[in-house]
Amino acid sequence: MSKMSALLVTVTLLCVQVLHGLPHTAFQSKKPHGVNREPQFTEKYFSQTVDHFNFNSMGNGTFSQRYLITEKYWKKGHGPVFFYTGNEGDVWEFALNSGFITELAAQQGALVIFAEHRYYGKSLPFGKDSFKIPQIGLLTVEQALADYAVMITELKQQLAATQCPVIVFGGSYGGMLSVYMRLKYPNIVAGALAASAPILSTAGMGDPRQFFRDVTDDFASVTPECRDAVRGAFHQLKELAEHQDYSRIQSEFSLCKPPSSAQDIHQLNGLLRNAFTLMAMLDYPYSTHFMGNMPANPVKVACKTMLNGSDLLSNLRNTAAIVYNATGVLTCFDLYSLYLECADPTGCGLGFDSMAWDYQACTEINLCYESNNVTDMFPSMPFTESDRERYCSKRWSVVPRPDWLKIQFWGDALSTASNIIFSNGDLDPWANGGVRKTLSSSLIAINISEGAHHLDLRGSNDADPVSVISARKTEADLIAQWVKMEKIRLGQSL
Ligand SMILES: *[C@@H]1O[C@H](CO)[C@@H](O)[C@H](O)[C@H]1NC(C)=O
Ligand SMILES: *[C@@H]1O[C@H](CO)[C@@H](O)[C@H](O)[C@H]1NC(C)=O
Ligand SMILES: *[C@@H]1O[C@H](CO)[C@@H](O)[C@H](O)[C@H]1NC(C)=O
Ligand SMILES: *[C@@H]1O[C@H](CO)[C@@H](O)[C@H](O)[C@H]1NC(C)=O
Ligand SMILES: *[C@@H]1O[C@H](CO)[C@@H](O)[C@H](O)[C@H]1NC(C)=O
């Protein structure tokens, strides 16, 4: 890891440049591409406090925080506010992939706001200097939550919505933020829909093997031969690497340059593993353009490819190409620009957003997940807390605090909270890092069989499984109840 980090800095900077020229091949750019922007949203900026917790710091000014808003469905002054607590990327990416929220707004007469998380997209407190030390230091979960609390409060005033209940929504890390908003600012937020929010594993309360085990299970559930073929292919790669047959590896995997070290092989293994991770997470029943382009049912497509004839290495290359060559314009695999190793073994994406996420994974968010080739099909790639510490102190001059999220956001002792939905899809490798069991009459866990990463937040689709249709119905009913109760508390006549 420590050798890697020096490389990573250079590579990260390189990639930023590469990315702008190649939005399609630069996979996981987490930027919207080729998708029509919903005309219904208006893009605006909010003047936000840079440092909410220190009046006398370099952050004593303000920055422009981006948000998207639509009043199209709103019963002015009465209907609720549906507020998406933006996560680690360009806010348009989430708005364009969370159609359920506007569908629900149409049913319930809501105002819809998608807020961009500080340090992502265009919401950079210090412009291009935001990713320098010490400017990066104001990227924390607490600052992001305070941003949302302040933004909600001021926008409600501006829009004459002070008596309108606020429901927060989020997927993945955004779902974690929506839970935290309800825990920390119940005066402002009446309820939260947290879709695929791994609030337990990221607070250090998970099994480090769980994530890649669950990725593996997705492929094994298509057919166990699929898992075995993947394991077999990685075994063949390992043998070639042991014999330092680097030119053969280059030709088998269409690499731009021959590998020349154990570090290069490690990088190749990471890049390949990440393709499986993304296909498992984004295993939707129709093709999508979210975190890259995916065909419908990518896990099935991958297994078909892995079992296409007996040349396992070529099958593995073609399977990785489903992810990295979705647009068909990749001429060769460039090991260090298609994938970045970082403090998140499930991937940080590319470009500036990846730096911000790496920093968060180096500070508050625990992502010490490992693969081991026993409980999963991948080469053994440990990532322990001490690996994390070593990497993070070198990359960002920080020492992670593994217990801090758990201490401040209640850990798993959530039973006295209220009005939170924890939804999870059974196909999603993040699911078992979250809350799977209903904890009280207002802390509701919903399972979505055949559902991938926050499928429920996506707009309705003809290919939706019945499970997600029914999950959305339950969510709509609970939210309508919370809104009704909150209107009474706020003194709105019904
Ligand atoms: C606070 O802002 C003022 C005016 O922008 C600036 O002159 C001052 O140096 C800032 N304080 C700190 C501690 O950075
Ligand atoms: C299987 O391999 C054949 C021959 O190499 C190729 O034409 C075909 O597209 C492959 N199918 C899949 C699903 O990869
Ligand atoms: C990417 O896809 C195109 C079109 O199918 C193909 O011609 C090309 O060889 C692929 N690139 C790699 C590196 O596999
Ligand atoms: C995975 O484990 C099997 C069985 O022990 C071994 O043969 C194989 O080489 C291992 N694969 C890798 C990539 O380490
Ligand atoms: C959801 O599925 C998990 C794992 O299969 C199970 O433990 C849990 O009880 C289920 N939760 C609900 C609410 O059905």
What tens digit of pLDDT does each residue of 272-318 get?
Answer: 999 999 999 999 999 999 988 999 999 999 999 999 999 999 999 99
Q: How far apart are the first and last CA of the chain?
A: 59
Rounded distance, CA 273 to CA 372, Å? Answer: 12
Look at residue 7 in the predicted model and tell me its pLDDT.
31
Torsion of CA 77, 79, 85, 86, to 10 degrees: -80
Chain centroid to CA 78: 33
**Segments of 363-491 assigned E as strands:** 420-425, 443-448
Question: How far is the centre of ligand 5, averaged over its atoms, from the C-alpha of 85 (Å)?
Answer: 26
Segments in the chain below pLDDT 50: 1-37
Active-site entry in 428, 454, 464, 467: 428
Rounded distance, CA 152 to CA 178, Å? Answer: 13
Angle at 106 between CA 105 and CA 110, to 5 degrees: 40
Look at residue 494 in the predicted model and tell me its pLDDT.
58
Residue 308 beta carbon below 6 angstroms from any ligand 2 atom? yes
Beta bridge partners, 421, equal 193, 444
Instruction: Find all residues with CB under 8 Å of 413, minimum gap 6, and list them.
Output: none
Look at residue 315 in the predicted model and tell me its pLDDT.
98
Angle at 254 between CA 248 and CA 258, to 5 degrees: 55
Chain centroid to CA 146: 20
Rounded distance, CA 363 to CA 403, Å? Answer: 10
Which atom of ligand 2 lies at the shortest distance from residue 305's CA?
A: 14
Burial of 64 (0-12, 13-18, 19+ CB in 10 A): middle
Which H or E run contains 65?
A: strand 62-70
Burial of 466 (0-12, 13-18, 19+ CB in 10 A): exposed
Look at residue 292 in the predicted model and tell me its pLDDT.
87
> How many CB atoms within 10 Å of residue 402?
16
> How many CB atoms within 10 Å of residue 453?
25
Active-site entry in 51, 453, 456, 467: 453
> How many CB atoms within 10 Å of residue 460?
12
Do residues 277 and 377 make contact, with C-beta atoms less than 8 angstroms apart?
Answer: no
Look at residue 5 in the predicted model and tell me its pLDDT.
34
Residue 254 beta carbon below 6 angstroms from any ligand 3 atom? yes
pTM to 2 decimals? 0.93
Q: Is 172 a catalytic residue?
A: yes
* Ligand closest in space to the Cα of 304: 2
For all residues of the chain together, what is the average pLDDT? 92
Rounded distance, CA 346 to CA 348, Å? Answer: 7
Q: What phi and psi values does residue 88 have, to the nearest 5 degrees?
A: -80, 65
Question: How far is the centre of ligand 3, averaged over its atoms, from the C-alpha of 254 (Å)?
Answer: 9
Question: How far is the centre of ligand 5, averaged over its atoms, from the C-alpha of 421 (Å)?
Answer: 14
Question: How far is the centre of ligand 1, averaged over its atoms, from the C-alpha of 55 (Å)?
Answer: 10
Tokens matching residue 121: 């997209």
Rounded distance, CA 387 to CA 389, Å? Answer: 5
Q: For residue 427, which of 286, 176, 288, 221 has the smallest C-alpha distance?
A: 221
Q: For residue 212, which of 345, 107, 330, 411 has the smallest C-alpha distance?
A: 345
Rounded distance, CA 226 to CA 316, Å? Answer: 11
Look at residue 121 in the predicted model and tell me its pLDDT.
98
Question: How far is the centre of ligand 5, averaged over its atoms, from the C-alpha of 320 (Å)?
Answer: 32
Q: Can you spell out the DSSP letters for 242-310?
A: HTT-HHHHHHHTTBSS---SHHHHHHHHHHHHHHHHHHHHT--SS-EESSSEE-SSHHHHHHHHHTSSS
Pocket test for ligand 3, best of 257, 330, 332, 335 (most atoms within 8 A of CB): 330
Q: Is 428 a catalytic residue?
A: yes
Residue 318 beta carbon below 6 angstroms from any ligand 2 atom? yes
Distances (CA, A) of 269 to 15, 63, 264, 272: 19, 40, 9, 5
Q: Name the residue with the closest Cα to ligand 3, atom 9.
A: 331
Q: What phi and psi values does residue 170 have, to the nearest 5 degrees?
A: -170, 155
Rounded distance, CA 91 to CA 73, Å? Answer: 20
Look at residue 253 in the predicted model and tell me its pLDDT.
98
Distances (CA, A) of 378 to 74, 260, 431: 49, 21, 20
Rounded distance, CA 276 to CA 453, Å? Answer: 14
Tokens matching residue 204: 């250090």
* Ligand closest in space to the Cα of 303: 2
> How many CB atoms within 10 Å of residue 147?
25
Peptide linkage before 134 cis (omega within 30 of 0):
yes
Distances (CA, A) of 107 to 111, 191, 209, 262, 329: 11, 17, 41, 56, 42
Q: What is the pLDDT of residues 313-346, one digit of tens each?
A: 999 999 999 999 999 999 999 999 999 999 999 9
